[in-house]
Structure 1
Amino acid sequence: MPEEPFEATVTAFMLVKTTPEWLGLSVEQRVEAFKTKVLPEITKRTNGVRSRFYDTEFYSARVTDVWVWEARDHQAYQLLVDALRETPFWDRYFDVVELLVGVENGYAKNYDLDTFATVTT
């Protein structure tokens, strides 16, 4: 059953670099590994998280991908990281270069201010 939509409390930008082991897999093997070795652990250990993935290897040699994780709360994020550490994702398929964790518009929420965003057309 699909999870109910939620407002993310925590957003984590996980900057990673692919390893030779990951790159040695075919595209089909990578998809299979993600579907069978990574996703089941995430699903089993936490809920209230969603993700988006960005390829950056075109522009950076240090970071090849940015995984954006949004979590319902801090515990859901912590359980996600624990789950990932129990899979080959962590330190076998990818080196975690940096974790940048933040709260969207935290300043505005803390000071009861309107949020500001840029939209151009």
Structure 2
Amino acid sequence: MSNTPLPFDPALTIFMLVKTSPEWLGFSVDRRFELLGAEFTPILKKHADNVVLRFFDVEFYSTRVTDIWMWDARDHHSYQLLVEDLRETAFWDRYFDIVEILTGVENAYAKNYDRPVITA
């Protein structure tokens, strides 16, 4: 888990459940990182002031999805702009199948009732 503070207080968190495609797995590891650097990283940098990504590998424990991309977004519009850019790349439903998108608001139950957050 990252201890780096976010540059903003996220309005929403999005969990993208994705599955690597056979095409992606057919690339060498070096080629995968080249593609990430050439196509994916510039999008992350473009939206870095408003959207932050964390990667989770889950292929060790799941067959339905291989990775979870967790996005913290400053607001809905910033997230939507990020997705528009991603959809213009092969990372969206070619190299990775977007299996499901789950969007939530952290601790909304407490915020909505003006109550303290429950923690362990």
Higher mean displacement: 107-116 or 34-43: 34-43
Count residues with an aligned counterpart: 115
Report whether the alignment pairs 1:21 with 2:28: no
Structure 1 pair 42–83 and aligned structure 2 pair: CA distance change class (3 A)? farther
Contact 1:57 1:63 in 2 (8 A): yes
Residue 3 of structure 2 corresponds to none
Q: Where in structure 2 are the equivalents of 1:7-86 lying within 5 Å?
A: 7-44=9-46, 47-86=49-88
Percent of pairs with identical residues: 58
Cα drift, residue 46 of structure 1:
7.0
2:78 is paired with a residue whose SS is: helix
Q: TM-score, normalised by structure 2?
A: 0.89
Deviations 1:53-96, CA, capped at 9 Å, x for gaps? 01111111110000100011111111111111111110111000
RMSD: 1.5
Cα drift, residue 5 of structure 1:
1.3
Unaligned runs of 5+ residues in structure 1 are none
Q: TM-score, normalised by structure 1?
A: 0.88
Runs of 4+ in structure 1 over 2 Å off = 41-47
